[in-house]
Amino acid sequence: MTRSDDAFETRFDLALAAAREAGRKTLEFFRGDDLGMELKADNSPVTVADRQAELLLRERIGNLFPDDGIVGEEYGQQQGSTGYRWILDPIDGTKSFVSGVPLYGTLVGVEYEGRSVIGVIDIPALGECVYAAAGRGCWYLQGTEPARQTRVSETQRLGQGLLVTTQIDSFAVRNARDAFESLQRQAAITRTWGDCYGYLLVVTGRAVAMVDPLMNIWDAAALQPVLEEAGGTFTDWQGEPTIHSGEGVATNGAVLQEVLQATRLCPRLPENPAD
């Protein structure tokens, strides 16, 4: 199937606009008294904000591209026939969201024939956003300032930079605590400012690496385009550039091999049935 440049640009514009609109929707509930929080089967929280934001995204996509595929964290899969698939996480970092911590975001990724080609990370409570499409560069928005192109850090060694992750005990879930401890020893600074905000820190040059032991496809799809277009890398723990392995390593490129020396010692995860 041949990709139409006009159709691609329209999807790129829609991904940014819809992600930012959905992010604003979450702010209507952020630090509110009635989040309607429930626990899903995996004990992860979900709120009315998650559900409303994803429904908004699906409506915007359906209005313009009703034949595209969609997969989202809250409402499952919709099959498509165009070669495009939208991959949605309305609130990445729901635990931060329900705790009133602004380090959560809305993620919109778009695959074309199995390759993630468009990505948006919107952090609505901080007014920060990065977005990218294959061959178009990576762009950073902060508040009302004009968009500017962004690049990863030029720091050459992990020992000179910031390493971020999400939740340390998730390494133990996959018997990878040794990998975390190795990375922490090497890094100049280690912090758990994770979920999608950690990846935004790598994209904008503030961190040199972000490592996730466990991910779903909706956690990963938006990340690969923004990192690669900013000059960085997004791979699995073996170094393969993919969103389908259930884990993630984001780097500025220069420190990738240092990180992989720790993560490659861990066994691969089984395939994710939700992918």
Question: Which CATH code is given to the segment(s) 158-263?
Answer: 3.40.190.80
- Report the alpha-carbon distance of residue 226 to residue 12 in Å, rounded: 12
Res. 236: pLDDT tops 80: yes
Mean pLDDT, all residues of the chain: 94
- pLDDT at site 271: 60
Q: What is the C-alpha separation between 255 and 261, in angstroms, rounded?
A: 10
Contact status, residue 128 vs residue 142, Cβ threshold 8 Å: yes
Distance CA 142, CA 95 (A): 24
Average pLDDT over residues 46-70: 96
Kindly indicate the confidence band of residue 70, based on its pLDDT and cuts at 50, 70 and 90. Answer: very high
Rounded-to-integer distance, Cα 274 and Cα 244, Å: 10
Distance CA 93, CA 246 (A): 16
Give the rounded percent of residues in the chain with a pLDDT score beyond 90.
87
Dist CA 160 CA 106 (whole Å):
30
What is the rounded radius of gyration, in angstroms, for the C-alpha atoms of the chain? 17
Q: Which CATH architecture has domain 5-149?
A: 2-Layer Sandwich (3.30)
Q: What is the pLDDT of residue 2?
A: 57
Could you tell me if 154 and 254 are in contact, meaning their C-beta atoms sit under 8 angstroms apart?
Answer: yes
**pLDDT tens digits, 245-259:** 999 999 999 999 999
**pLDDT for the residue 274:** 44
pLDDT in tens, 6-18: 999 999 999 999 9
pTM higher than 0.85: yes
Question: Please, which pLDDT band fits residue 32 given cuts at 50, 70 and 90?
Answer: confident
pLDDT band, very low/low/confident/very high, at 41 (cuts 50, 70, 90): low
**Is the predicted pLDDT of residue 220 greater than 50, yes or no?**
yes
pLDDT tens readout for residues 76-89: 899 999 999 999 99
Spatial separation of the C-alpha atoms in residues 3 and 120, rounded to whole Å: 20
Q: Residue 212's beta-bridge partner residues?
A: 248
CA atoms within 13 A on the CB side of 130: 25
* Distances from the Cα of 60 to the Cα of 19, 64, 65, 149, angstroms: 10, 7, 9, 26
pLDDT at 36 over 90: no
Q: How far is CA 130 from CA 87, 92, 122, 139, 264, in A?
A: 16, 15, 7, 5, 29
For the chain, the domains span: 5-149, 158-263
Residue 25 has φ and ψ, to the nearest 5°, of -60, -40
pLDDT score, position 43: 62
- Supply the pLDDT for residue 4: 73
Q: Is the pLDDT of residue 1 over 60?
A: no
Model pLDDT, residue 177? 95
Higher pLDDT, 196 or 268: 196
From 31-45, 109-123, 138-152, the region with the lowest mean pLDDT:
31-45
Asked if the model's pLDDT at residue 275 lies above 80, the reply is no
Q: Which residue has the higher pLDDT, 42 or 249?
A: 249
- At 188-201, the pLDDT tens digits run 999 999 899 999 99
